Chains A and B, each alone.
Chain A
Amino acid sequence: MLLEVRDLQVEFHTRDGVARAVNGVSYAVDAGETLAVLGESGSGKSVTAQAVMGILDMPPGRITGGQVLFQGRDLLRLKEEQRRRIRGAEMAMIFQDALSSLNPVLTVGAQLGEMFIVHRGMSRKQARAKAVELMDRVRIPAARERVDDYPHQFSGGMRQRIMIAMALALEPSLIIADEPTTALDVTVQAQVMDLLAELRRELNMGLILITHDLGVVADVADRIAVMYAGRIVETAPVYEIYRAPAHPYTRGLLRSIPRLDQKGRELYAIKGLPPNLLRIPPGCAFNPRCPMAQDVCRTEVPPLFEVAEAPGAAEGRRSACYFWEETLHG
């Protein structure tokens, strides 16, 4: 297994108390596999990724438990200097807003080339040539002329391509893309997603795609992990989840996608609001918003149940719902 996150727990110490952002998340990604992590804002999907990368702001953040196994090594036990060598070189991250995530006062060539200077000890000249090569690879037109341009001189889609080029620079074995297309136009979104998927295939990388956009997920992901209030509530192969969700939250998410055959009717919305992380409800965190909630949901935290639809069905399906069978068949 390329990356295995085991029972990860992250807290944030704020003035109002301790926000439990991640409460025992476990997921795994293999080489060549794409895992989509789905969830609303505040579900802990980005915080988990930042903890994996080792770029969590500490303080206020604190990792209170769990393991992050990357190629067999527990990253949380490594020294900062060892982690730094892994960051960017063996695992890389693509951020949401390329305009604010690129340094406004440095040329894109300098920001791309920096990867080779720092991690590979190349000279400025070699690094610059590499930067041009990378820009060609992510299909930025006239790369040779544009290598000395600044981020603000590129369009949104081109900037995100530069972010992708930066992440791919040293051909890492794992890429974490945190909502890579949210800030883009719909047409550009598709182009950027296609490019990312294509390069992932070419380099046989593992990809963690963090998103709240179910439409993006269906095309590129192999597996999905749905997060709610810092926990994984359902994980399954992508096809299975779309066909028949095994958690009421997932079902709610799927039902709230607008569809053409629904025209004129009111769009479904999950009632209520995501929980305050300072006061997560006891039992299943989703219970106040769940149409199927029973007494047990309000007192006991549900474990991740093995979901076996029928004998011989796809394995590796899990749901954190006491009533997963009813949900699956309802």
Chain B
Amino acid sequence: MSNCSCVPFKGTKEQQKKLEAAIEKYKDQSGALMPVMQAAQDIYGYLPIEVQKMIASGLNVPLEQVYGISTFYAQFSLSPKGKYAISVCLGTACYVKGSGKIFERLKTVLGIDDGGCTPDGKFSLESCRCIGACGLAPVLTVNEEVYGRLTVDDVDKIIEKYKALD
């Protein structure tokens, strides 16, 4: 998981209102932190420092506690999803067919780590487990689009294609 997001925070007033409502709903219960963090993940799609500070202040818990939990559970993300969210299958079939190398190539080309997002917010990258397309191994998805039987050279072409789009 990437530890920092270089994407500027663009939270809206409405999102903040929703988060404040979630905090209000849970704040007097014990164990309020998890449901509030889950709500925040739903509202913002990720948990940047600005959001974690709102949670820490709202629930009167240490920021480090929020951060510790956000990095412990895979369900929380510190980076936003990009406009084009790339998922590379590292399941067994794809992996033996070389998806590890494809994933590495993507990291180099995009300059981000697993779970990261490019500073312009265009691409995010994550590894995933079997998506049930083993016949096409190795596969990756860009949003809903599936790309199969890939070689490392295909990676650059796919990225170029989306870069050319808006």
Whether chains A and B associate is no
